[in-house]
Amino acid sequence: MTRVAVTGHTDLPPHTTGLVADGLRAVLADAVPLVGLTCLAPGADQLFAEVVLDLGGRVEIVLPAADYREAKVAPGAWPRFDDLVRRADRVRTLPFPRSGRAAYQAAALAVLDAADLLVAVWDGVADSRPGGTAATVAAARDRGLPVSVVWPAGAQRGGRRG
């Protein structure tokens, strides 16, 4: 069983999600049977969870904080978030009452702890914010965990940092 963690940008515009989904399918196609490990952030994490499930894999979620859904997910996106939570094999919420950098970092490290590979939906731009995409990639590389970057030609970000 291959255990694959994800990190990635939260601000993927619609034209980029299809490109990224295809890139994720290509990276994950040989990782069968597959368990996807995610914090279920909007954008790359949720797209990754959907691809894992579409490929017949299982999903395990590590939520950073008790208020994560309300604090991080836009109300209009709650149905998608809730559906992915329902479809997950395991959901664990870290003991942080409020979402924030410390909780995001702890969740990112928790998924790395359980992973054989990190898939990063990442444009390669350095950013040292704890729990962010670049910091999670650096933490994985520091641990010697293999990292596969998915950023297809033509992919763009929507303006927010994540």
Residue 155 domain-assigned (yes or no) = no
Total residue length of the chain: 162
- Residue 91 lies inside a defined structural domain of this protein: yes
Residue 101 lies in a domain: yes
* Rounded distance between C-alpha atoms, residue 147 and residue 112, angstroms: 11
Neighbour-count burial for 17-39, b at 16+ CB within 10 Å, e otherwise: bebbbebbeebbeebeebbbbbb
Mean pLDDT score of the chain: 94
159 assigned to some structural domain: no
- Cis amide prior to 146 (ω within 30 degrees): no
Percent above pLDDT 70 for the chain: 98
Tally the domains of the chain. 1
CATH number of the structural domain spanning residue 121: 3.40.50.450
Burial of 122 from C-beta contacts in 10 A (0-12 / 13-18 / 19+): buried
Domain containing 121: what range? 2-149
Residue 86 falls inside a structural domain? yes
154 assigned to some structural domain? no
Q: What is the pLDDT of residues 82-127, one digit of tens each?
A: 999 999 999 999 999 999 999 999 999 999 999 999 999 999 998 8
Given this model, what pLDDT does residue 87 score?
98
Predicted TM-score of the model (pTM): 0.94
pLDDT single digits (tens) 10-44: 999 999 999 999 999 999 998 889 999 999 999 99
DSSP state of 44: H
Pick from 52, 39, 56, 11: which is nearest to 110 by CA?
39
pLDDT band at 159 (very low <50, low <70, confident <90, very high): low
